[in-house]
Amino acid sequence: MPKTEAWNANLYDSKHAFVFAFGQELVDLLQPQSEERVLDIGCGTGHLTAKIAESGASVIGIDSSPTMIAKAQVTYPALTFEVADARHFAFTQPFNAVFSNAALHWIQDAETVVIQIVKSLKPGGRLVVEFGGKDNVGAIVSSLQKALQQVGHTSQTAWYYPSIGEYASLLEKHGFRVTQAWHFDRPTKLEDGELGLRNWLAMFASSSLDQLSPEEYEAVLNQIETQLRPTLYREGDWYADYKRIRIVASKA
Ligand code: BEZ
């Protein structure tokens, strides 16, 4: 889920298409039915919302970024999208299912999100989510921290990457029954060959990089590339060390 307006919906679609390309499996796990109401939290540019809608389900996509929602609405004019924060949304009709792909790691206050989700579901309603799990992009994050320190700055990124135990406990605390959980590696090829890691950092770590002068920016990116090349660069492409947590749960 985009945190800032610096997010560029076109760049997101063209260079980071893997974010929603991987999501089809999660839609399959959701198994949306034609008579259902489904909420897609952190829908970005709406591609998975549209996939869910293909089932005939009535789906609403929300995202905190107005630019993402504007692009989603232009791309899929027949679907319903709203700018809304996952910590504060409210709908009058409850949902049969809540879905979210690659969004919940943007929100540190996971408990508030879970409380909102449980309130928005019908009894028996299901939750199907996937996002960054424990140690997600661990090599990139530690290299970023180290490179920033060397030019006298600290990392401003604040992602939420829980383990299965941590997230399942949170869901259980709020009345969910967790029926399936995975934590798995998904090394992810970044678009644009040699530029892949730079593009990824520019898009997703802007809160840390925006504080740098142009010279510091170059020094930091060069250092990260040098440090990570032996492990994350293969045959002309960069691979991000993604680790996903995927959860299926139902409201008791
Ligand atoms: C992720 O999908 O795991 C992710 C994306 C951007 C920044 C950090 C993590």
Which pLDDT belongs to residue 23? Answer: 92
If DSSP codes are grouped into helix, strand and coil, which group holds residue 189?
strand
Q: How many angstroms separate the alpha carbon of residue 44 from the centre of ligand 1?
A: 13
- Closest C-alpha residue for ligand 1 atom 9: 132
Q: How many angstroms separate the alpha carbon of residue 82 from the centre of ligand 1?
A: 22
User: Phi first, then psi: what are they for 251, rounded to 5°?
Assistant: -80, 125
Which pLDDT belongs to residue 5? Answer: 43
What are the residue ranges in the chain where pLDDT is below 50?
Answer: 1-6
Phi-psi region of 251 (alpha: psi -120 to 50; beta: other; left: phi over 0): beta
Q: How far apart are CA 3 and CA 1, in angstroms?
A: 6
Tokens 């789906």 label which residue?
Answer: 59
For residues 118 and 146, the answer to whether their CB atoms sit within 8 Å is: no
Which pLDDT belongs to residue 22? Answer: 85
- Give yes or no for residue 102 CB within 6 A of ligand 1: yes
Adjacent-strand bridge partners of 248: 128, 180
Which pLDDT belongs to residue 21? Answer: 75
Q: Provide the mean pLDDT of the chain.
A: 94
- Closest C-alpha residue for ligand 1 atom 6: 204
- Give yes or no for residue 204 CB within 6 A of ligand 1: yes
User: Phi first, then psi: what are they for 40, rounded to 5°?
Assistant: -105, 110
Q: Which residue ranges make up each domain of the chain?
A: 4-137+159-191+240-251
- Closest C-alpha residue for ligand 1 atom 3: 132
If DSSP codes are grouped into helix, strand and coil, which group holds residue 212?
coil
User: Phi first, then psi: what are they for 110, rounded to 5°?
Assistant: -65, -30
Q: How many angstroms separate the alpha carbon of residue 102 from the centre of ligand 1?
A: 7
Q: Could you report the per-residue pLDDT of 158-183, keeping only the tens digit for each? A: 999 999 999 999 999 999 999 999 99
DSSP 87-111: TT---SS-EEEEEEES-GGG-S-HH
- Give yes or no for residue 137 CB within 6 A of ligand 1: yes
Q: Two tokens at 26?
A: 């999660």
Q: Could you report the per-residue pLDDT of 217-249, keeping only the tens digit for each? A: 999 999 999 999 999 999 999 999 999 999 999
Which pLDDT belongs to residue 14? Answer: 67
Q: Which CATH architecture has domain 4-137+159-191+240-251?
A: 3-Layer(aba) Sandwich (3.40)
Q: How far apart are CA 64 and CA 41, in angstroms?
A: 9
In this structure, the dihedral spanned by the alpha carbons of residues 213, 227, 191 and 29, taken in order and rounded to 10 degrees, is -110
- Closest C-alpha residue for ligand 1 atom 1: 132
Q: How far apart are CA 168 and CA 165, in angstroms?
A: 5
Tokens 């993402």 label which residue?
Answer: 68
Q: How many angstroms separate the alpha carbon of residue 209 from the centre of ligand 1?
A: 16
